[in-house]
Amino acid sequence: MQDYKCNKYFYELAQTPLIVNRLRTKPITDVLRFIRVETKGRSGKHINLDELEAIRLDLQGRIEQGYKGTIGIITSFDEQQQRAEKYFRERLKDYPRLKEEQKLSIWFVGDVQGEERDIVYYTFVEDERNSEGGLRSIYPIPDGTADKITSLKMQRLNVGFSRARDTMVFVHSMPLEDYMDTRRGDALRFYSTLLEDTKRSDHFIVDEKTFDSPKEKELYQLLLQTDFFQKNRERMRIIPQFDIGRYIAQEYKKYIPFSLAPCNEGQTKIDVLNDLRVSAFVL
């Protein structure tokens, strides 16, 4: 997905690595979302129509605002996948066009290997009144026989949560802590914590054209992943293509790929450049 997926793990115990994808160009609140659903009643075994309606409303709003990206929906049960196909075919505006032009697809989590979409919705089905423990047959149980990185259930979890190129939307009918009976709960906790932590000090690139070369883009991603930056991210700012010529008169209009500067309450201290060795930043 985005930069925050690099060198991270869903959870420390299983050490399932996330897939490195393209750079994040949007605020974290645009690419990681949680939609809490208040269910109205039982829809059928392993079926939650209220979650499907929440997805329909959110997706319809995006389409009306001009969204053109590809679309995926991942369900935790076969029954929900089959019902979702019928539900969206009957109720989602422009369904045939979305299938054709924006590759709208709906998968059971066990059948999504090899597929990717720009936005992926996740429907978990279970709610507080009608939880049947069915997800324990789909995802690994903590300390269970499948609670190891090589198991089919663990691979299903990793694959299912790494299908989004740009945006992940989690649609759930219970508090996140109520999903902790399987390792999927650890994944949800990881993303929820990531969302809250990153909101306090978000780092993203509005336009990838800011970078002068692919290597600069790669370096930017590596800087974001360093322990030093992660520990100090609320007090740091990385400035691509920094105009060093403004501060060194004899080097007028010279640029360096990045300036890594400390900041406090939004104010960046550029005086860190006084002892900057430019050659160390030139690719």
Q: Average pLDDT per run of 10 along the chain, which is 283 residues long?
A: 40 38 73 91 80 97 96 91 95 95 92 88 82 55 48 63 88 86 76 83 76 83 80 77 66 60 58 38 36
- Provide the pLDDT for residue 27: 84
Where is the domain boundary, 137, 166, 200? 200
Does residue 16 sit in the same domain as residue 156? yes
Residues 229, 263: contact at Cβ < 8 Å? no
CATH of the domain at 109: 3.40.50.300
- Provide the pLDDT for residue 6: 34
Q: Please spell the DSSP secondary structure of 43-96, one letter per residue.
A: -STT--HHHHHHHHHHHHHHHHTT--S-EEEEESSHHHHHHHHHHHHHHSTTHH
Give the integer Cα–Cα distance in Å for 30 and 191: 13
Does residue 260 sit in the same domain as residue 137? no
Does residue 139 sit in the same domain as residue 184? yes
- Provide the pLDDT for residue 169: 96
- Provide the pLDDT for residue 189: 84
Does residue 195 sit in the same domain as residue 232? no
- Provide the pLDDT for residue 255: 62
Does residue 37 sit in the same domain as residue 116? yes
Does residue 98 sit in the same domain as residue 135? yes
Where is the domain boundary, 200, 218, 242? 200
Does residue 146 sit in the same domain as residue 231? no
- Provide the pLDDT for residue 8: 43
- Provide the pLDDT for residue 279: 36
Where is the domain boundary, 167, 200, 233? 200
- Provide the pLDDT for residue 258: 66
- Provide the pLDDT for residue 253: 53
Give the integer Cα–Cα distance in Å for 128 and 50: 13
Does residue 196 sit in the same domain as residue 212? no
State CA 148 to chain mean position distance. 23
Residues 103, 149: contact at Cβ < 8 Å? no
Q: Which residues contact 230 (CB under 8 A, 6 or more apart)?
A: none
Does residue 115 sit in the same domain as residue 42? yes
Residues 102, 71: contact at Cβ < 8 Å? yes
Does residue 98 sit in the same domain as residue 189? yes
Per-residue pLDDT tens digits for 173-221: 988 888 777 667 778 888 888 888 878 777 777 777 778 888 888 888 7
Does residue 159 sit in the same domain as residue 223? no
- Provide the pLDDT for residue 104: 97
Does residue 169 sit in the same domain as residue 220? no
Tally the domains of the chain. Answer: 2
Instruction: Indicate the SS3 state at residue 126.
Output: strand
- Provide the pLDDT for residue 121: 97
**Domain of 223, in residue numbers:** 208-281
- Provide the pLDDT for residue 146: 42
- Provide the pLDDT for residue 280: 37
Q: Which residue type is seen at 56?
A: R
Give the integer Cα–Cα distance in Å for 241 and 206: 13
State CA 101 to chain mean position distance. 23
Per-residue pLDDT tens digits for 133-167: 565 555 545 455 444 444 455 666 667 777 888 89
Task: Output the pTM of the full model.
Answer: 0.70
